[in-house]
Amino acid sequence: GLTNGSGRYISAAPGAEAKYRSASSASSLFSPSSTLFSSSRLRYGMSDVMPSGRSRLLEDFRNNRYPNLQLREIAGHIMEFSQDQHGSRFIQLKLERATPAERQLVFNEILQAAYQLMVDVFGNYVIQKFFEFGSLEQKLALAERIRGHVLSLALQMYGCRVIQKALEFIPSDQQNEMVRELDGHVLKCVKDQNGNHVVQKCIECVQPQSLQFIIDAFKGQVFALSTHPYGCRVIQRILEHCLPDQTLPILEELHQHTEQLVQDQYGNYVIQHVLEHGRPEDKSKIVAEIRGNVLVLSQHKFASNVVEKCVTHASRTERAVLIDEVCTMNDGPHSALYTMMKDQYANYVVQKMIDVAEPAQRKIVMHKIRPHIATLRKYTYGKHILAKLEKYYMKNGVDLGPICGPPNGII
């Protein structure tokens, strides 16, 4: 655990509200002459430690004894309140509307022990509020307290939130300085449950020229990271925010592994991302990999999502080629289309094809499906297609007879 100057033990365990958090040093504000609390009649002074380990002030506040408590009235107790669930919430709410003088009063008490609050389950929110609502001087002073600790904070459950908030609200010079501390530790952060969020935030908020070290760290690692639960998110952020000459080497590595990536539980999202947001030439390269494999990939849990995106985001010509492939190809005695209609994943690809096909091609698809109406009724996944078919023919004034047979399924 961490201790502050007075040797208090601070627990940063999730949800922990340490019973042993004792009071800060006694404050002159709560002398017996204080108008707010006449503590002379009380068994405890406001800064005395109660059996719970809290000061009387915090204990009374938690018991709703002070419905209109103000920030200046907890002077001398800011650290203690910040590390308490209810005290922290009180400070956070007050800071949003506080006067500059009130904010400064709070800030003066937290600055020296800022790191301790950054890694605290409740304290981290107080620091975040200063990055959001504090003055430029206050933000820069806190950034100074972070200096030298960016990596340890990025990997810590609560510290990582502070770093993310800081990156959103500090000037670019300070951003660049903060980000530089992660150089040499990029992959460690990307693969970490806390650190990956910091790397994503860097990519979203910091000028891409300052992030070349992230791109360099990914060289030769793009496949491994794309198939990683956190890495796949970071790759997508790079594709969204980085410069063309930074994304180019990333895309090159992705294209080398398209076939494996589309079938991976995480990699498929990266390929879908390129299909939705990428350049036409990158989309075409992916479509080219899918061509000739539509039937097989459409029946795959993860790859089927990619095939759907191909059908949706390909050029008109490419789309027509993909749809034609399943109409003309056979799978044993039946058409590929028939196999796909019955399949738990591929039926969604067929539905998408019906949605996006040009009218002439849609007509071909529908005529291919039509002979199988009776069979489709028997399959859970065929029913989706039946509904589409019925809608299509009703719109086009063709009567298909009783598509939805009697409830017992006997025609």
Same domain (yes/no): 141, 209 = no
Tell if the pTM clears 0.85, that is, is over it.
no
Which residue in this structure is represented by tokens 């693969």? 191
Q: What percent of the chain has pLDDT over 70?
A: 86
Tell me which of 2-6, 369-373, 393-397 is least confident.
2-6
CA angle 252, 258, 264 (to 5 degrees): 130
- Asked if residue 131 lies in contact with residue 142, where contact means CB atoms within 8 angstroms, the answer is yes
Give 9's strand partners.
3
Q: In this structure, is residue 210 part of a structural domain? A: yes
Find the mean pLDDT for residues 22-37.
Answer: 43
Same domain (yes/no): 309, 381 = yes
Same domain (yes/no): 89, 186 = no
**How many domains does the structure of the chain reveal?**
3
Tell me which of 49-53, 74-78, 194-198, 348-352 is least confident.
49-53
Predicted pLDDT at 395: 79
Same domain (yes/no): 194, 247 = yes
Same domain (yes/no): 269, 323 = no
Res 298 pLDDT > 70: yes
Q: What six digits make up the tokens of 241?
A: 């925010």
Res 392 pLDDT > 90: no
Same domain (yes/no): 191, 278 = yes
Tell me which of 52-56, 161-165, 322-326, 406-410 is least confident.
406-410
Predicted pLDDT at 404: 45
Give 10's strand partners.
2
Q: In this structure, is residue 138 part of a structural domain? A: yes
Identify which has the larger pLDDT, 202 or 410. Answer: 202
Report CA-CA distances (Å) from 193 to 118, 130, 234.
17, 25, 12
* pLDDT band for position 128 (cuts 50, 70, 90): very high
By residue count, the chain amounts to 411
Q: Taking the alpha carbons of 199, 204, 209, 215 in that order, is the dihedral positive or negative? A: positive
Tell me which of 45-49, 97-101, 173-177, 281-285 is least confident.
45-49
Domain boundary among 247, 263, 289: 289
The angle that helices 244-256 and 267-277 make with each other, rounded to 10 degrees, is: 130
Res 282 pLDDT > 70: yes
Q: In this structure, is residue 32 part of a structural domain? A: no
Same domain (yes/no): 72, 117 = yes
Same domain (yes/no): 217, 127 = no
Q: What are phi and psi of 386, to 5 degrees?
A: -55, -45
Residue 99, Cβ density class (10 Å: 0-12 exposed, 13-18 middle, ≥19 buried):
exposed
Q: What are phi and psi of 3, to 5 degrees?
A: -120, 155
Q: In this structure, is residue 37 part of a structural domain? A: no
SS3 track for the chain: CEECCCCCEECCCCCCCCCCCCCCCCCHHHCCCCCCCCHHHCCCCCCCECCCCCEHHHHHHHCCCCCCCCHHHHCCCHHHHHCCHHHHHHHHHHHHHCCHHHHHHHHHHHCCCHHHHHCCCCHHHHHHHHHHHCCHHHHHHHHHHHCCCHHHHHCCCCHHHHHHHHHHHCCHHHHHHHHHCCCCCHHHHHCCCCHHHHHHHHHHHCCHHHHHHHHHHCCCCHHHHHCCCCHHHHHHHHHHHCCHHHHHHHHHHHHHCHHHHHCCCCHHHHHHHHHHHCCHHHHHHHHHHHCCCHHHHHCCCCHHHHHHHHHHHCCHHHHHHHHHHHHHCEECCEEHHHHHHHCCCHHHHHHHHHHHCCHHHHHHHHHHHHHHHHHHCCCCCHHHHHHHHHHHHHHCCCCCCCCCCCCCCCC
Q: In this structure, is residue 343 part of a structural domain? A: yes
pLDDT tens per residue across span 271-280? 999 999 999 9
Beta-sheet pairing, 9-10 with 330-331: unpaired
* pLDDT band for position 397 (cuts 50, 70, 90): low
Cα atoms found within 13 Å of the Cα of residue 92, Cβ hemisphere only: 16
Res 307 pLDDT > 50: yes
Average pLDDT, the chain: 88
Tell me which of 15-24, 304-313, 317-326, 354-363 is least confident.
15-24
Domain boundary among 289, 318, 337: 289
Identify which has the larger pLDDT, 46 or 302. Answer: 302
Find the mean pLDDT for residues 3-8.
Answer: 44
Res 190 pLDDT > 70: yes
Closest C-alpha to 74, from 60, 85, 63: 60
* pLDDT band for position 44 (cuts 50, 70, 90): low
Q: In this structure, is residue 9 part of a structural domain? A: no
Instruction: Report how far residue 251's alpha carbon sits from residue 229's, in angstroms, rounded to the nearest whole number.
Output: 19
Which residue in this structure is represented by tokens 């990914």? 218
Domain, as residue range, for 356: 297-398
Q: In this structure, is residue 218 part of a structural domain? A: yes
Predicted pLDDT at 398: 57
Same domain (yes/no): 219, 283 = yes
Find the mean pLDDT for residues 172-190.
Answer: 98
Res 114 pLDDT > 80: yes
pLDDT tens per residue across span 197-220? 999 999 999 999 999 999 999 999
Q: In this structure, is residue 158 part of a structural domain? A: no
Closest C-alpha to 58, from 12, 20, 23, 30: 23
Same domain (yes/no): 283, 179 = yes
Domain boundary among 250, 267, 289: 289
Find the mean pLDDT for residues 96-118.
Answer: 97
Same domain (yes/no): 207, 278 = yes
Tell me which of 27-41, 159-173, 228-242 is least confident.
27-41
- C-beta atoms surrounding 252 within 10 Å: 11
Identify which has the larger pLDDT, 130 or 43. Answer: 130
Res 408 pLDDT > 60: no
Same domain (yes/no): 189, 272 = yes
Find the mean pLDDT for residues 322-348.
Answer: 92
